[in-house]
Amino acid sequence: MHPRSLAFLALAALPALAADPPKAASAQICTACHTTAPGNLRGYLDDVAPKARLLHVKLDGDIQVLHYDSKALKVLADGKVDTTGTGLDALKRGQAVRVEYTEKQDVKTATLVSAKPPARLAAADLVSTEDLQRLVALSPGTGTPFLFDARPPARFNEGSIPTAVNLPFTEFDQQADKLPADKGALVIFFCHGKTCNMSPCALAKTRSLGYTNVKVYQDGMPAWYAKSYGVVSPASFKKAFLDKDVPTVILDLRPAGEAGKGFIRGAVSVAPGGVKDLLAREFPAARLRPPILVVDGEGGETAKTTALELVRAGYTHVNVLTGGFSAWQAASLSAETGPTATKVAYAPRLRTGSIPNEEFARIASLAPEARKDILILDVRNRLEAKDGMIKGALNLPLEELEARMSELPKDRRILIHCGMGTRAESAYRMLKGKGFNAAYLNAEITIIDTGEFILD
């Protein structure tokens, strides 16, 4: 036999080299308690598009889009494995998940979605939202607990429960001196919710130091914000919001004349009791979850009453500025002077790849011949598109996009929409990964048979 043939046979007999598994990725807050193996993602379920068989997992500011085969995907939740293809229906948006996946030609395919279970704690170790509200409302020295926020400082700076002190679990050993000297005092920890392990782990560490009355508010900040307001110090608000240019609604309840002598950049002047009228006019919808800061002179009852009014209206990230504007001045933080705004102008920060609603509306309103360098791509299914399409748009259902991607132009900008934004975002990420110049509309859109449309 020819020597080259022998060499070929020898190479063929060698075992195939295994492909490297996909890289691990994790939301920053998950790294406090978990390591993530290659081929896994840890984050929060953002959305599911069943018709297109796509799921979105949020990792901090990034969204990972994964395909899935409903006949092959395993979903682990509540200690049970579902292989019927309906397991994702039981998961909620924002739920902590670990996803096992494979990757081929830059396409991620989920094989297992594991919903993180609640941390196991004895009933005697738990404090309810109602009990904590009662304890926090007590006057100092009359049974108030030592309340500790076990989340990282960056989360604490975005707002916390009144009276809480930040004792990050990741820095517990270095900051354990924040614990009370009395080891029989009531100590309560909380963190990001039922599936977060930081406060249960802090409880265990505190007990190991000899403390005998330690509990956990397991529902954590999400449940607290749903029922009440948080607080934030001037320095924390500046660091978490102003310094990062995070869109925020700031309501200044002081008299306009007083506020004009000094106010926080972006503040809107509102008379106490005028929130109801403001909500009926130009206030951002609660579903947008705008961060709201309520400011009065001293951080007193006026701000707290207004904050509770906003919470009852469905807003879930409302904070009162600790110490009010007096504390802002005492911290020597910059303030503006002059007439304050009287109308709320809030625009949520755009998600990566999304186009402002106003820009999309302007372009889509043009005659097709006036936007020849732009293609509007409608990724709704054919039945939805039958009721009405934007004039000149191309309907290519999301579930067909991967197979028909070659039909799309690479020399034109592609603006993608669906009905609510979820499928459009999935399409954007698929096209962007293949080098297309694309953006998507992250909004609800209704289109009638004349081609006219309404954006919500």
**Residues assigned a catalytic role:** 418
What is the number of other CB atoms lying within 10 angstroms of the CB of residue 1? Answer: 6
Give the separation between CA 271 and CA 268, rounded to whole angstroms.
Answer: 10
Give the separation between CA 212 and CA 179, rounded to whole angstroms.
Answer: 13
Give the separation between CA 77 and CA 74, rounded to whole angstroms.
Answer: 10
CA distances from 394 to 114, 272, 389, 417, 452 (A): 37, 51, 9, 10, 15
**Two tokens, residue 299:** 């951080």
DSSP class of residue 134 equals H
Tell me the pairing of strands 80-82 and 74-77: antiparallel
Which residues in 241-310 belong to E strands, given as ranges?
249-252, 267-269, 292-295
Do residues 295 and 324 touch, judged by C-beta distance below 8 A?
yes
Q: Is 95 exposed, middle or buried (0-12, 13-18, 19+ CB in 10 A)?
A: middle
**Two tokens, residue 353:** 């790849």
Phi-psi region of 143 (alpha: psi -120 to 50; beta: other; left: phi over 0): left
Give the separation between CA 311 and CA 304, rounded to whole angstroms.
Answer: 11
Q: What is the DSSP string of 139-153?
A: PTTSS--EEEE-S-H
Which residues in 180-233 belong to E strands, given as ranges?
187-190, 214-217, 230-232
Q: Which residues of 3-13 are buried (b: 16+ CB within 10 A; e: fewer)?
A: eeeeeeeeeee
Residue linked to tokens 């404090």: 127
Give the separation between CA 187 and CA 125, rounded to whole angstroms.
Answer: 11
Give the separation between CA 394 and CA 413, rounded to whole angstroms.
Answer: 13
Residue linked to tokens 């598994």: 21
Beta bridge partners of 57: 45, 64
